[in-house]
């Protein structure tokens, strides 16, 4: 019997709920809340600009997004592995997609320059639809596709930089696919590729676990319900309400003890250098280029208008500065 012929889930009674998965989802919620709290502290100026988007916290955010998508793939198999329950799936999809749209609308008003046009909920909704095709596909294919996606990402980042990227995908209408060179700024950007790989990996591993009979043993690992497990079962509600609460708390604290005004030059450097480094791969060149443009922006009193959004980076004066600093920094 081939893997394609093997039932994705044994017939008979529905298997018991695996509380451990709910607990893992609850842990992911805590991790997400700690990351968002760091973002809030940065937004109100209590930590250095760029803290939440660089270094450890950049990797931390990616690990959190991957865990949610992986668990979404696990849940998709457990809920629909024996046969897609279309009413249940459609209801859940409508709730997640509706929440994603609500977040887009809310952030468009709250953060018009960095609104969320394709975040984690948008990805979960679309990836879940795609994931349906892998519930009955040969198990080898279910494993092979996410491996190929990750391999392509690694090749794109190391061996052949930019091979999967094109400026054609740099608009919000297409950046959600994941092949843009410079996607529009967003407070939560989780494009379809490569993040689809996390959900498909969850599907493949869960199908393998069912075939091997591991689910019963996993259910036995945790028998008692916990606060974490309960939070995990209501992850969407927790996701929607936690950030407004955290923002409100930090805002109230800022009224009592305001953060010192950030150094506009530091803010600019923390934004310019990572972007330049992704494009050129030369840290020394980027430091010279960004330092040069920062000095010119401050000298021409354009730094504040640029950071406030009054003028854009496409402004002719800024373009001339960039060209001059490219030559000065030695950029080919």
Q: How confident is the model at residue 313 (pLDDT cuts 50, 70, 90)?
A: confident
DSSP-derived secondary structure letter, 3:
T
Q: Which two three-digit tokens encode residue 37?
A: 């709290």
Which distant-in-sequence residues (6+ apart) come within 8 Å of 141 by Cβ?
A: 134
Contact in structure between 60 and 35 (CB atoms under 8 Å)? yes
Q: Could you read off the pLDDT of 265-290 as tens digits, one per residue?
A: 888 888 888 888 877 778 888 899 99
The mean per-residue pLDDT over the stretch 222-245 comes to 94
pLDDT at 11: 42
Q: Which two three-digit tokens encode residue 190?
A: 């989780």
Q: Taking 90 as the threshold, does the pLDDT of residue 30 lie above it?
A: yes
Burial grade of 15 (CB within 10 A; 0-12, 13-18, 19 or more): middle
The mean per-residue pLDDT over the stretch 28-44 comes to 95
Closest CA to 74 of 222, 204, 221: 204
Closest CA to 119 of 99, 133, 134: 99
Looking from the CA of 19 toward its CB, the CA atoms found within 13 Å total 11
Percentage of residues in the chain with pLDDT exceeding 90? 60
Secondary structure (H, E, C), 106-175: HHHHHCCCCCCCCCHHHHHHHHHHHHHHHCCCCHHHHHHHHHHHHHHHHHHHHHCCCCCCEHHHCCHHHH
C-alpha to C-alpha distance for 323 and 320, rounded to whole angstroms: 5
Q: Could you read off the pLDDT of 285-305 as tens digits, one per residue?
A: 889 999 999 999 999 998 888
Q: How confident is the model at residue 256 (pLDDT cuts 50, 70, 90)?
A: very high
pLDDT at 103: 96
pLDDT at 193: 95
Q: Taking 90 as the threshold, does the pLDDT of residue 106 lie above it?
A: yes
Burial call 142-156: b when 16+ CB within 10 Å, e when fewer: bbebbeebeebbeeb
- DSSP letter string, 48-83: -TTGGGSHHHHHHHHHHHHHHHHHHHHHHHHHHTTS
Contact in structure between 269 and 290 (CB atoms under 8 Å)? yes
Q: Could you read off the pLDDT of 117-131 as tens digits, one per residue?
A: 999 999 999 999 999
């Amino acid at each position: 019997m081939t893997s394609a012929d093997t039932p994705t889930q044994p017939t008979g009674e529905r298997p018991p709920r695996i509380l451990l998965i709910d607990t893992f989802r609850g842990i992911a919620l805590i991790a997400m809340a700690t990351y968002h709290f760091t973002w809030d502290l940065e937004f109100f100026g209590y930590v250095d600009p760029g803290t939440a988007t660089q270094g450890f916290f950049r990797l931390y955010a990616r690990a959190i997004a991957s865990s949610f998508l992986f668990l979404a793939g696990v849940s998709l198999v457990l809920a629909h592995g024996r046969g897609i329950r279309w009413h249940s799936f459609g209801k859940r999809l409508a709730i997640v997609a509706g929440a994603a749209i609500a977040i887009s609308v809310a952030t468009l008003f709250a953060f018009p320059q960095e609104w969320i046009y394709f975040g984690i909920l948008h990805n979960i909704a679309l990836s879940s639809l795609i994931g349906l095709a892998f519930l009955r596909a040969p198990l080898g294919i279910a494993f092979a596709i996410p491996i190929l996606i990750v391999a392509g990402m690694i090749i794109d980042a190391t061996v052949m930089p930019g091979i999967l990227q094109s400026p054609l995908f740099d608009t919000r209408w297409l950046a959600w696919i994941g092949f843009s060179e410079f996607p529009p700024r967003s407070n939560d950007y989780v494009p379809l590729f490569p993040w689809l790989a996390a959900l498909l990996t969850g599907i493949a591993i869960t199908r393998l676990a069912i075939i091997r009979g591991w689910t019963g043993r996993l259910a036995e690992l945790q028998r008692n319900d916990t606060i974490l497990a309960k939070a995990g079962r209501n992850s969407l509600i927790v996701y929607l309400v936690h950030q407004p609460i955290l923002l409100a708390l930090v805002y109230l604290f800022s009224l009592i003890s305001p953060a010192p005004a950030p150094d506009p030059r530091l803010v600019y450097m923390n934004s310019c250098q990572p972007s330049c480094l992704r494009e050129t791969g030369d840290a020394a060149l980027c430091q010279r280029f960004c330092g040069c443009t920062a000095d010119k922006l401050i000298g021409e009193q354009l730094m504040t208008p640029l950071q406030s959004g009054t003028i854009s980076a496409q402004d002719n004066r800024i373009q001339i500065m960039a060209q001059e600093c490219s030559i000065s920094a030695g950029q080919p």
